[in-house]
């Protein structure tokens, strides 16, 4: 069972995603309701690529390093399989914010999320761990070598979506 603060955070996140022009919907992943938000942006300065940004958020009873790692992998696979259009890498990329919200968060899970961006070929994930009891959001805010061209965009979206 998830707490009231976690559910309230997801409701607020959905409003912020919609306000930023994301299409949102609720899905069922293995019996857990997840909020899915998505948008696509094109920039010439991104070497004329189209970036598909997915935000997938779930309230869970507890967040651990293993749970956020597994969820990140699931979200990257989902985003790659559901982006549509040209194949990944052919003037198109995928970025994802896998978001776990909980009132019980292992501090190691926060550190893991803040440590680095997770990369696959033309796919990037910035896991987000939300401790709804402590009102703390952990996510990577750096500019890595791989995917650096998108870093400012992802930092801006992270600020808009998760720190509201």
Mean pLDDT, rounded, of the chain: 88
For the chain, give the percent of residues with pLDDT over 90.
Answer: 62
Quick one: pLDDT at residue 137?
96
Average of per-residue pLDDT across 106-120: 93
Q: Give me the pLDDT at residue 23, please.
A: 96
Contact 112, 67 (CB under 8 A): no
pLDDT tens digits for range 130-159:
999 999 999 999 887 777 777 898 999 999
Q: pLDDT confidence of 1, banded at 50, 70, 90?
A: very low
Q: Answer yes or no: is pLDDT of 26 > 60.
A: yes
What is the tens place of the pLDDT at every residue in 42-57? 555 555 567 889 999 9
State the pTM of this model: 0.90
């Amino acid at each position: 069972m998830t707490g009231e603060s976690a559910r309230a955070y997801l409701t607020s996140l959905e409003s912020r995603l919609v306000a930023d022009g994301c299409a949102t919907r609720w899905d069922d992943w293995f019996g857990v309701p997840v909020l899915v938000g998505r948008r696509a942006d094109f920039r010439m300065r991104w070497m004329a690529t189209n970036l598909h940004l997915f935000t997938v958020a779930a309230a869970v009873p507890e967040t651990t390093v293993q749970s956020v790692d597994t969820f990140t992998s699931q979200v990257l696979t989902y985003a790659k399989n559901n982006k549509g259009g040209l194949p990944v890498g052919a003037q198109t990329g995928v970025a994802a914010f896998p978001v776990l919200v909980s009132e019980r968060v292992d501090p190691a899970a926060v550190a893991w999320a803040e440590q680095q961006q997770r990369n696959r070929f033309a796919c990037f994930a910035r896991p987000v761990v939300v401790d709804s009891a402590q009102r703390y959001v952990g996510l990577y805010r750096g500019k890595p070598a791989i995917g650096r061209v998108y870093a400012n965009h992802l930092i801006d979206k992270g600020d808009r979506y998760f720190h509201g």
